[in-house]
Structure 1
Amino acid sequence: MNIRKLISLFTFLLASSFLFAQDAKYHLLIGTYTSPDKSEGIYVYDFDTRDASTTFKSKVVVGSPSYFAVTKDRKFVYTVSEDRSQNINALSFDAKTGDLKLLNSVPSGSGGPTYISVDAKGKYVFAGNYGGGTLTALPINPDGTLGTDIQDIKHEGKSIAKNKPFVHSAVVSPDNKYVITADLGTDKMNVYAFDASKRPNPLTPTAQGFVTLAPGSGPRHSTFHPNKKFYYAVTELDGTVNAFTYKKGKINLIQTIKMADASYTGKPDGADIHVSADGKFLYATTRNVLNEIAIYSIDKKSGNLTIVGRQAIGGKSSRTFEIDPSGNWMLVTSQGTNEIIFFKRDQETGLLMPTGQKIQHDKPSFVTFVKMD
């Protein structure tokens, strides 16, 4: 091989190595419940998918951003403020540096926001108001700020466990045409049609309207399968995962499966739920006493679940979790022990292994990954 070919090969390998290193790194955003002299808002880290190493980059001060959503173009982040302000906040985001800047804040409607999502085209955000028992749609202006002409839909009803509605989440469908809420207080999954052109009232109930789960189950969070044909919801009060088929805004319940082992008789406290990017496994967490991750395999044809393992989290009050873009790691927020706990994920078996790695933050509540520029 002559010297010119050697130089070309070296240049190619060097460029490939650089590109791989760039692809391996993401921004890691951590939301917290804020308090004086402790957590102050959202913290940004570099995250390397090759070894799960992290480096602190920056932070932005905003009141209790316990849950947030990032737009598809990565230019904006929208957060709830689960504090006295009960606001929804718009922030600009620099996908290169990871810097966040507060743009504006607006009231969340009836108050008590705990969850937020954004539609794929960046036209609206949707807030689940746990305290107010409502679903709120807030318009996004062209500059990324939030408009004030909101739609606030009040849920009605109660269950054998709760005496009023508690809207705990609002998930946008993969086709961007529907929003599904989990109402812990009424045991209902409510389905709304979404049309951004119908400002200020982009949401309308579908013909189906809702699906009622088991009495006293308390649905909390939900997620779609990557194939867009299946949908899953975790319940807080009876600790189950509910599997649905999904088609054109209609959900059909096909399975309900317990998260805890049959020998467990305490409170399950179901919390968060996610499907791996390859669609092979579903993970659902419990908080407080049980405090573990239930791991299920997913039948690719039916969408049904089979338990394959349970992993102790090791912290306390694990509010949310996230699988990193490489699929190799899982990060779990442990609100009660003030830490984010790292697990290594086996992509073949779906099982998890504690790594011993942690990030310390006061009352962490949410983590997500954003691709770097």
Structure 2
Amino acid sequence: MVDSANSYLLVGGYGAGVHCLRCDADGALSPVSVVDIADPSFVVHDDARGVLTAVVEQQPEGRVASARFTVAEGGSDVRDKTASGGADPCHLALHPDGTTLFVANYTSGSVAVFPLDEQGRVSGSEPAQLIRHSGSGPRTDRQEGPHAHQVVVTPSGRWVLSVDLGTDSVYVYEYDAAAGRLAQHGVIAVPPGSGPRHLAFHGSGRYFYLINELAGTVLVCSWDEAGGIGKAGAAVDSRAAADRERGGECWCAAIRVSADDRFVYTANRVDDTIAVFAVLEDGAGLEPVEVVPAGGSWPRDIVLSPDGGLLFSANQRSDSITVFRVDAGTGRLTPVGAPYPITTPSSVLPVSG
């Protein structure tokens, strides 16, 4: 019997399988089960159909793996023979209609499209469609070619956005539900050398926030859902003033918006910090609130609990997850307990019990 008073996390990483953790009301984490998938660096879960799907981030050819999974029963029937269509797949997204999966292949700079069967699992052994980005950026060490880092389905389900670090672009694709295919619609350009990594939508659907791994900034971008048109706007620093003055790289990572759309959170690697921003003007602006230590090294991903009361940080290089209490009024973070030990965590995902 699953205790409904607890919440649960799926943790992806490198070499250690997908871990399911229980989180009690005080923020304490404890193990529940492990799904045997290798190098599952990013994970999604279809709650309705009880299917876990992960990218297997490997070279020269990555894979997509899936398993039947519920918190009560754990994982079973693991399948991992589907080629991702490129090297180092690092992100994936389910379409809300339950028929299609999208995957970003980082090193190959491509987006793969997979049809899903009635069980919610990938059909076939390779992508039904593969779209390769092209171009480069001014940073020859990191932007020598395209590097697709994220795929996001927009609020209406009509558009799929692909964030490309290598070309300083967000590609906009129109999704044809009948055909299960994507058609390129446009490109949102960001300042050269920004190295965009991930984005997160404001609940209004009129703005999204784009974190730039190389520039150490967050861009407030406008979005027209009807026309599939976006535009990069003002930038705010993701780093603390002292870290900016120190110089060097930051390697910004994840970005999340609170469920009430009042706050935005970002993870900064190298600095090993988490930044908090207040959302202004119904989504049109961000104001810095604080930057706090992540409590571990290389915070690769952060996520908020469904009720917004806790924030979890997956600290890849210190093999730990830290937990923070979120102040509902100010958005500020307070560490809770000791870091939970887990090998090379790279993604965290809340799931229902």
TM-score by length of 1: 0.87
Q: Greater strand percent: which structure?
A: 2
Structure 2: runs of 5+ lacking an equivalent: none
Query: 1:302 offset after TM fit, Å?
Result: 4.7
What is the distance in 1 between the residues matched to 2:176 and 2:9?
31
- Assess if the C-alpha contact under 8 Å between 1:333 and 1:364 holds in 2: yes
1:151 aligns with one of 120, 129, 145 = 129
What is the distance in 2 between the residues matched to 1:265 and 1:45?
37
Structure 1 residue identity aligned to 2:222: T
Written as runs of structure 1 = structure 2, the 5 A alignment for 1:341-356 is 341-356=322-337
Structure 2 residue identity aligned to 1:27: Y
* Correspondence for 2:264: 282
- Assess if the C-alpha contact under 8 Å between 1:173 and 1:180 holds in 2: yes
* 2:44 aligned with 1:62: no
Query: 1:74 offset after TM fit, Å?
Result: 5.1
Moved over 4 A (4+): none
- Assess if the C-alpha contact under 8 Å between 1:72 and 1:122 holds in 2: no
Structure 1: runs of 5+ lacking an equivalent: 1-18
* Correspondence for 1:196: 177
Could you say what the CA RMSD is over the residues aligned between the two structures, in angstroms?
1.8
- Assess if the C-alpha contact under 8 Å between 1:60 and 1:101 holds in 2: no
Provide closer, same or farther for how the CA distance between residues 302 and 51 of structure 1 changes in structure 2, counting only shifts above 3 A: closer
Q: Greater helix percent: which structure?
A: 1
* Correspondence for 2:78: 102
- Match of 1:29, SS? strand
Query: 1:100 offset after TM fit, Å?
Result: 4.7
Structure showing greater Rg: 1
What is the distance in 1 between the residues matched to 2:11 and 2:170?
28
- Per-residue CA deviations over 1:100-125 (Å, capped at 9, x if unaligned) read 54145300112220111111121111
Query: 1:72 offset after TM fit, Å?
Result: 5.0
Aligned residues: 342
- Per-residue CA deviations over 1:154-203 (Å, capped at 9, x if unaligned) read 1011110112100011111111111111100000011101123214xx10
Written as runs of structure 1 = structure 2, the 5 A alignment for 1:115-264 is 115-148=91-124, 149-161=127-139, 162-199=143-180, 202-206=181-185, 209-248=186-225, 249-260=228-239, 261=241, 262-264=244-246
What is the distance in 1 between the residues matched to 2:249 and 2:322?
22
Structure 2 residue identity aligned to 1:322: V
- Per-residue CA deviations over 1:230-255 (Å, capped at 9, x if unaligned) read 11110111111011122222212222
Structure 2 residue identity aligned to 1:232: Y
- Match of 2:178, SS? helix
* Correspondence for 2:274: 293
Structure 2 residue identity aligned to 1:83: Q
- Per-residue CA deviations over 1:262-299 (Å, capped at 9, x if unaligned) read 524221211000000010000111102x1111111001
